Amino acid sequence: MNIKTLIVDDEPLARERVKRFLRDEPGVEIIGEAGNGAEAVRVIESEQPDLVFLDIQMPEKNGFEVVKALDPKIAPTVIFVTAYDNYALQAFDVHALDYLLKPFNRERLHRSVERARQHIERRNSGTIDERLLALIADLKAEKKYLERLVVKAVGRVFFLKADEIDWIEAAGNYVKLHAGRESHLIRETMNGIEAKLNPEKFLRIHRSTVVNVDRIKELHPMFSGDYSVILHNKTELTLSRNYRERFLELFENQI
């Protein structure tokens, strides 16, 4: 039995690593690659692969959003891939067939493929993919997002309402929360803070920037598909073309 396989990761070297390891796996047919979540959904719908290696942290749509967008009737077996997102691991560990934690070796991928092979054989015999169905149900259920954040400063700890945040930027092992004339550092990753905030209010517009959409005043096209985002307080940010599609989707009925 040939296993039609799709590799989804925004990093070309990461896709190449999976491809190289899969060459030693009998019966695995690589039918394509995708470099972002939106492209992954299109390829899955058109090619209907049996197995997908799906990265979690990607522009446009992350791995969870890809799964959420799928029709359960054609949903493939999914092996999630992640570098460090413990929050994500906790979210899908109950339901995922398997996950690969980067950097993984050839033996670890082999075990995942063998598990997927058995799973696909059972599914082809009529067994319902209960884990993936449960994951899709969880993702489509109403999710509670952070309404306030705990900020530790010198000699004090205080609460900052999420709605008070204008924008967020990456700062090494921290993120910097910009709220009015103040800014606060908290130990968190950009992927982590993005996952915990309401995506209808906070939008990733760059690898290192999340913005409160209510603070956006103007949008100006730039070169190479980027946009300049002007906030009400005159802060100027950049909307990267890699995140443009999700941004435009949010405002498709308004612009």
What's residue 192's pLDDT?
86
Segment 39-49 mean pLDDT: 94
Superfamily name with CATH number, domain 3-140: Response regulator (3.40.50.2300)
CATH class of 148-250: mainly beta
Sign of the Cα pseudo-torsion (217, 198, 142, 127, in order): positive
For residue 226, give the amino acid letter.
D
Q: Is 153 helix (H, G, I), strand (E, B) or coil?
A: strand
For residue 145, give the amino acid letter.
Y
**pLDDT exceeds 90 at position 250:** no
Which run of H or of E encompasses 68?
Answer: helix 63-69
Q: pLDDT tens, 119-133?
A: 888 776 555 556 666
| Window from 83-92, 208-217, 245-254 with minimum mean pLDDT | 83-92
Three-state SS string across 174-228, please?
EEEEEECCEEEEECCCHHHHHHHCCCCCEEEEECCEEEEHHHEEEEEECHHHCEE
How would residue 53 be classed by pLDDT, with cut points 50, 70 and 90?
A: very high
How would residue 200 be classed by pLDDT, with cut points 50, 70 and 90?
A: confident
Segment 139-143 mean pLDDT: 59
Q: pLDDT tens, 65-82?
A: 888 888 877 788 889 888
- Domain locations in the chain? 3-140, 148-250
What's residue 165's pLDDT?
96
Q: Which residues contact 125 (CB under 8 A, 6 or more apart)?
A: none
Q: Which residues contact 8 (CB under 8 A, 6 or more apart)?
A: 33, 34, 35, 37, 39, 40, 52, 53, 54, 55, 58, 63, 66
What's residue 140's pLDDT?
59
Helices and strands in the chain, H and E counts: 8, 15
